[in-house]
Amino acid sequence: MQFSSPAGSLKPSYIREILSAASQPDMISMAGGLPASSLLPVDLIRTSCESLADHRELFQYGASRGYSPLITTLNKLYPEQNNPWLICNGSQQGIDLIARAFVNPGDGVVAEIPAYLGALQAFQLSGAQIYPLYHISEAGEAGSKPDLIQLESHFKTGKVKLFYAVPDFHNPTGKAWSEETRIRVSNLCRHYGVILIEDSPYRELRFSGEQCSSLTPLCPEVCISLKSFSKIGFPGIRLGAMSGPAEFIAIAERIKQATDLHTGLPQQALINALLNHPKYPDHLAHLRNSYRGRHQQLRSELIKQLGNQVQFERVEGGMFIWLKLTKGSGTNVAARALKHKLAVVPGAAFYPEGVIAEDSAIRLNFSNTEPTLIPEAVSRLANSLESSS
């Protein structure tokens, strides 16, 4: 084969493929991780769009590190980071830059399983070996949490360079780490010298419960934090940022130079305008309220229409419900759902190669489905379950 080894083994993203199917007419999509189209804050950047062409300097080459007014804004908005920033094309590029900066083929990367596929693909491209971290439920406690004994045993192999974590409303499970878990994970990473990647695209989307600490202040010397403006701003612009220890950001910047020189300036200026708009906090509050409502409505419909055919936990933010089927295969349900004009992603799609996939769940997105469509979506799902076929 003439392709490189990692490229040849890279599978197309199931989710990106299903998103094509999801654009068919009459399809209801709960497949992607898309924000609500009707809530995209385009009105908050309208003025900036209108005057964009007056800012000729935004159309000339810029600095690899990023547009400095945007960096100033990030420092103001996220004072807990207290580290240099590198602007990138979505947090996805941040993951890829980190993988290229740190991973030699065979190096270990721990990821909570099931995991965000895009991250697994980026690590796979660099030849990483994925060490799966599962969740456990303890007696007397609601919900589950990362198995920190397993995490430490991975670290003890001496082969793990990175721990890729989504502590706030994990994709695909929707779970958030407790404050205690954050402290214990941070301590383990410091102790074993493992770089902790905090990917937090959903952090600003908490709609109930208490906000916990960002990981960076808990272990600033080993933590790289990724911000995304795709879930709270505009995914179509492709903008994110990473912050971390200066020497890490410096090496990521060099790789960024070789990758695409820098992130485009007009798009950085537009995100900067959004973040500085006096109504930006209102936009975030409105987004949280809306997603709280959509989540609650989806919960109610799932309970009403599916009853004990499924199990799921209440999430406190983000975009996803992880729906466990008490019977049958998630892959089969997702395939049947497509015929009923409902797009969902089977849980098995979130397992890396070489790890046995559990095929008893599906991921439901609630952020992108208009509330009026949620009862019909769940009805189509009900028609797709094993017992109904």
Q: Shortest gap between Cβ of 281 and a second copy (angstroms)?
A: 20
Q: Which of 81, 186, 267, 367 binds a second copy (CB under 8 A)?
A: 267
Q: Which of 28, 30, 71, 88 binds a second copy (CB under 8 A)?
A: 88
Q: Which of 148, 183, 255, 275 binds a second copy (CB under 8 A)?
A: 255
- Rounded Cα distance between 120 and 142, Å, is 28
**Residue 4 contacts a second copy per CB under 8 A:** yes
Binding part of the chain for a second copy, among 15-23, 69-77, 200-208, 211-219 by CB under 8 A, reads: 15-23
Site string for a second copy, 297-316 (x = CB under 8 A): --------------------
**Residue 355 contacts a second copy per CB under 8 A:** no
Give the DSSP H or E segment for 90: helix 90-102
**Residue 126 contacts a second copy per CB under 8 A:** yes
Q: Shortest gap between Cβ of 314 and a second copy (angstroms)?
A: 27
**Residue 275 contacts a second copy per CB under 8 A:** no
CB 271, CB 233: distance < 8 Å: yes
Helices 90-102 and 246-260, packing angle to 10 deg: 110
Q: Shortest gap between Cβ of 264 and a second copy (angstroms)?
A: 4
Residue with Cβ nearer a second copy (118 or 174): 118
Task: Name which of residues 135 to 174 contact a second copy (CB under 8 A).
Answer: 161
**Residue 24 contacts a second copy per CB under 8 A:** no
Bridge partners, 324 (sequence order): 311, 361
Q: Shortest gap between Cβ of 144 and a second copy (angstroms)?
A: 28
- Rounded Cα distance between 8 and 179, Å, is 41
CB 219, CB 196: distance < 8 Å: yes
Q: Where are the beta strands (DSSP E) in 229-268?
A: 240-243
- Length, in residues, of the chain: 389
Which DSSP state fits 177?
-
Q: Which of 14, 27, 40, 148 binds a second copy (CB under 8 A)?
A: 40
**Residue 327 contacts a second copy per CB under 8 A:** no
**Residue 45 contacts a second copy per CB under 8 A:** yes
The number of C-alpha atoms within 13 Å of 12 and in the hemisphere containing its C-beta is 7
- Rounded Cα distance between 308 and 325, Å, is 9
- Rounded Cα distance between 199 and 214, Å, is 10
